Chains A and B, each alone.
Chain A
Amino acid sequence: MSEVFTIAVLVAVVGSAIRLAVPLLLASLGETYGQRSGVLNLGVDGIMLLGAFSGYYAVLKTGNVWLGLVAAGIVGLILGLASAVIAVTLKAEQGISGIGIYLFGLGMSDLLFQKLVGTPIPIDTFPPLDIPILANIPYIGEMFFQHNLVIYLAFAAIPFSAFIINRTTFGMNIRAAGEYPDAADTLGVSITRVRYATQLIGGMLAGTAGGVLAISLGIFQQNLTNGAGFIAIALVYFGGFRPVGIMLGALLFGFVNALVLELKTLEIIPRDLSNLAAMAPAIITILALAFVARRFRAPSALTKPFTRGQ
């Protein structure tokens, strides 16, 4: 048991937690934009899958991981546009249409993989990037400053998004579209444009999240995300629809996963409790969600299509 409480274990777990958290963080951040504006997109996982394949395929063909990331983002953007058309213009039932997008992404990503690639072929991954000086701090450096550029940018997106949502006119319009769309409309805010914008942002971030996952792993296979998109949606609620909150949620989920893995490696967790331990991330997140949900509420216009005059 004393093996658990060592600096080495802590360093390993935190590093792993950060890597596991980043795809969730990006996808959840994108979904936060959407939900704050009143649009629920349950198709996040499908967008992540197509983003993952696109990113993977682009790297496979070009050898350039950054082109892969861009490709993933563009595909996500396109799917975000589709989501916007369906939810905002066509005013479809958002829950159902989101599931449709998920199924589309699941099937299409696998179809494309089977037809264009076939057997899993490894690709290059993101090059490591140690932050000068900070990376040399004992233990802290290894935990936080010896990752790659994508991880740093993902975490930088949190305060950036918090600023956008809370301190800019655009952010105010997003919040207004999600809380009081009728009032915002009378004041000249185009609810349609705002929701389109948030769906594009959400799609782009979800696609990028998938691309980050595939390129970080250096491989693609069927259902690579393993439902991460749905966890990302849950994290939006966990985080109280706030970027910092969802970051903490993603880190908690990643941390518990990483800790369970480490405890299994150290054989601290008995084999017969392994299944129970595997549920720990979900259980802890649900418990935390139940606690947090009392303090925050969803945007009042969430899932409600907007029609002027109604």
Chain B
Amino acid sequence: MAIALEIIDLEVEIDNKNILNGLSISIKEGEIAAIMGPNGAGKSTLASVLAGKEGYIIKGGSVKYLGKDLLKMSIEERAASGLFLAFQYPVEIPGVATSVFIRTALNAQRKMRGEKVLDAAEFLKLARVKAKELQMSEEFFSRAVNLGFSGGEKKRAEIFQMSMLSPTLAILDETDSGLDIDALRVVAEGVNRLRSNKLSGLVITHYQRLLEYLVPDTVHILAAGKIVETGDKSLALELEKRGYQGIIQES
């Protein structure tokens, strides 16, 4: 299998503080990698840097995505080339209807890729199917983006966007936080439905719970800005027993 994402020795600083200290990881096409780690390890920074958020200083290392230099691409180019970040805290945008937003995004991506844009009817048809899969009511299409959504609705809406945009690299940033067990299952099933040998995933989480439903191919432990341990799904279970301290100290 070809390498989808390859991060080598990534060093990132924000506000004069080193957050990532030589992080290396590589993910194959079709591979779902879980990244686990204690608070402040740099998990969310990694997600933000990959998506292209401003304010981070890249001090060293490289990130290649499907052979291209990801760090040189604009935020929207990253999205158009298949990167999708499911936010830990999805942003509320009053005054912008969810369906208008997703259609604009989808068509902007399609345009950048030189594909045909979807008209309103084609879009709606697709959106209805996807919403149903995630047990979401269509009423949410006309609601403002994330505005007044409950925690669960927000996360579900992220996965809905993901399924509409059909990315090739999905980064889930603590998508399980704030979800009850039923919502967690729906979200995990939503992601599982999208799994294919074309979709790579980076699942950032604190807990092993999500990984029961969304079974990863590899598990990496991030501490103090570095990957300190890599293994298969059993590593997550071991972590559950011994805690971060036990594993980090050992390594």
* A and B associate in one complex: no
Interface residues, chain A, CB within 8 Å of chain B?
A: none
